[in-house]
Amino acid sequence: MNQTLTIARPDDWHLHLRDGAMLRAVLPETARHFARAIIMPNLVPPVVTGAQAAAYRDRILAALPDGMTFEPLMTLYLTEDTDPADVAAAAETGLVKAVKLYPAGATTNSASGVRDFDRVRGVLDKMAEIGLPLCVHGEVTDAEVDIFDREAVFIDRVLDPIRRATPGLRVVMEHITTRDGVAYVKANDTDLGATITTHHLIINRNHILVGGIRPHYYCLPVAKREEHRLALRAAATGGDARFFLGTDSAPHTDANKETACGCAGCFTATNTMSILAQVFEDEGALDRLEGFASGNGAAFYRLPVNAATLTLTRGEAVTYPAKIITGEGEVTVFDPGFPLHWSVSA
């Protein structure tokens, strides 16, 4: 007998759509299941002004297939030259919902990110004043810091000092990957939330390295030890409203993944909801899936929960395409490594 679960239509609070041919190919994969998404601004060149965000939003909406509804929630890329007044104006119109902090060199297209945090103090103060969230890629980039320790060091060296120096600043720790990140969020009950990706609930670092290098499991922040994955699963399924879904779904062509210096990112937009339903079922927490995917993020961003619904049905194994065909080349869909028995319908 099939089991069904109906939830408010979910949102993705961390999404990469890219631009051009890639945007046109991957956007339907998100819009099929998600009502809204926080759109990452790390294009080349990055989206740093309100005018650029408006133009990018228009390109996204123009790429949306007929019959689909989707609301892109725009962000600005924080640089050391960002104008606080421009940020405030873009936020006041409702165009921009957050500003994204990339430490320079931390991930894909982050070369324009911040090196000297004192130079963005005025922007952060203005954001705290108007209640605009700061989304952080929480890793230091110091060469002497081991890549598996970058998140924990970032909390101590960068994030905690920023929050202490800017009272009232609302912060989203994006794609946390460690029990350190979970613990920091739980220890701070005001103005702080965290997104957790689909893939970090599934893979640990062994999936990337054991039996040969698996480039389609390589992402940044990189997957950590099993103890950290289990901490993330407990946080995501535990009902704590400070944790919510941000897939960090990041399309790269196979040619750019399967190379001597492959790009970081897992493309999970296509099958995330089926995977999450399985994770929450395994943890005995199906009643908490709606909060994680549909409610908690909306509450943090001070937006209403979507009125439309999504229904998940447990039955025979669901088949998803192994690859998405784009005008730039094939993109491999994340493989969770187990059958998916939850199908999705509007």
Helix, strand, coil shares of the chain, percent, nearest 5, are 35, 20, 45
Residue 78: CB atoms within 10 Å: 27
16 is in an annotated binding site: yes
55 is in an annotated binding site: no
248 is in an annotated binding site: yes
| Tokens 């990339």, located at residue | 102
Query: Which is catalytic among the residues 81, 83, 248, 254?
Result: 248
Nearest Cα to 80, choosing from 117, 106, 46? 117
| Tokens 């070369």, located at residue | 111
33 is in an annotated binding site: no
257 close to 226: Cβ distance less than 8 angstroms: no
What does the alpha-carbon distance between residue 31 and residue 16 come to, in Å, rounded to a whole number? 13
Pairing label, strands 96-101, 71-77: parallel
291 close to 241: Cβ distance less than 8 angstroms: yes
14 is in an annotated binding site: yes
18 is in an annotated binding site: yes
Spell out the residues 6+ positions from residue 50 whose beta carbon is closer than 8 angstroms to its own.
Answer: 76, 86, 87, 89, 90, 93, 95, 96
What does the alpha-carbon distance between residue 188 and residue 193 come to, in Å, rounded to a whole number? 9
Q: What is the DSSP string of 241-253?
A: TTEEE---B----
147 close to 140: Cβ distance less than 8 angstroms: no
Joined tokens for residue 109: 């297209």
327 close to 50: Cβ distance less than 8 angstroms: no
How far out from the chain centre does Cα 342 lie?
Answer: 22
Residue 125: CB atoms within 10 Å: 15
42 is in an annotated binding site: yes
200 is in an annotated binding site: no
Q: Is 248 a catalytic residue?
A: yes
175 is in an annotated binding site: yes
17 is in an annotated binding site: yes
How far out from the chain centre does Cα 164 lie?
Answer: 25
Which residues are catalytic, by number? 248
Binding-site positions read: 14, 16-18, 42, 100, 137, 175, 220, 248, 252, 264
Q: Which residues are annotated as a binding site for Zn(2+)?
A: 14, 16, 100, 137, 175, 248
Please report, in range form, the residues annotated as the binding site for substrate: 16-18, 42, 137, 220, 252, 264
